[in-house]
Amino acid sequence: MDVKDIALERFLSAIKSQMDPVQELFTYYRCAIMEVETKFRVLDEQFSLQYDDNPIESIKSRIKSYDSILRKLKRKGISFDLDSIQNEIFDIAGIRVICSFEKDIYMLADYLLAQDDITLIERKDYIKNPKPSGYRSLHLIVEVPIFLSTGKKMMKVEVQLRTIAMDFWASLEHKLRYKKNLSPKQLVMLSDEMKTCADMTKDLDRRMQYVRDEMNREKEC
């Protein structure tokens, strides 16, 4: 090996030693997602068996990208180290649970939080108190244990529960936020339009819930 190769090897090994603990942490977050996702899938199966009804339409999960984590640390003025990442950033592991009906969101949240290995860290109810943008969802930050060969490790997971209508709205509004080619005037106009759409989705959720409640009442009679 010549001097250049040795320098490159040293550089790569230095990068690897920096990245290994990060990769390890990301693996733990992936395990935490599996734990929480399984809890929701079990509840969905049980409801399917017991009531012939599936409260969950779909589940999406993601690990926040390293770039986004670093940007968030910078924005919040938090130091760039693994302890800060674990103790200050709560949405590295994220699960989105999509339901058809609003009442199922609260029912699933209650059943999740009743489980004795789940600890609620934070609850933000943007359904009862929507954001000024019109955003609606129920957010929970929970702590869940993962069981490793070395023992138990507590991990934080952000759970976002929303209806199909709320999810449809949030996906488009998210795209609108990152659109760079709009003039300020267009942005204001489209944001206003999204606020109107948010009111419409709220009304749609309410009316769909009403129809289901009436159908269930008829079944009981």
Q: Is 69 in the site for ligand 0O2 (CB under 6 A)?
A: no
- Please say which residue, 74 or 174, places its beta carbon nearer to ligand 0O2: 174
Candidate ranges 79-87, 107-115, 133-141, 178-186; the one touching ligand 0O2 (CB under 6 A): 133-141
CB-nearest residue to ligand 0O2: 135
- Shortest distance in whole angstroms from residue 177 CB to ligand 0O2: 7
d(CA 177, CA 200): 20
Q: Is 133 in the site for ligand 0O2 (CB under 6 A)?
A: yes
- Please say which residue, 177 or 219, places its beta carbon nearer to ligand 0O2: 177
Q: Is 135 in the site for ligand 0O2 (CB under 6 A)?
A: yes
Q: Is 170 in the site for ligand 0O2 (CB under 6 A)?
A: yes
**Residues designated catalytic:** 158
Q: Is 86 in the site for ligand 0O2 (CB under 6 A)?
A: no
Q: Is 53 in the site for ligand 0O2 (CB under 6 A)?
A: no
A 10 A CB-CB count for 7 gives: 11
Q: Is 167 in the site for ligand 0O2 (CB under 6 A)?
A: no
Q: Is 125 in the site for ligand 0O2 (CB under 6 A)?
A: no
Residues that bind ligand 0O2 (CB under 6 A): 91, 94, 124, 131, 133, 135, 139, 170, 173-174
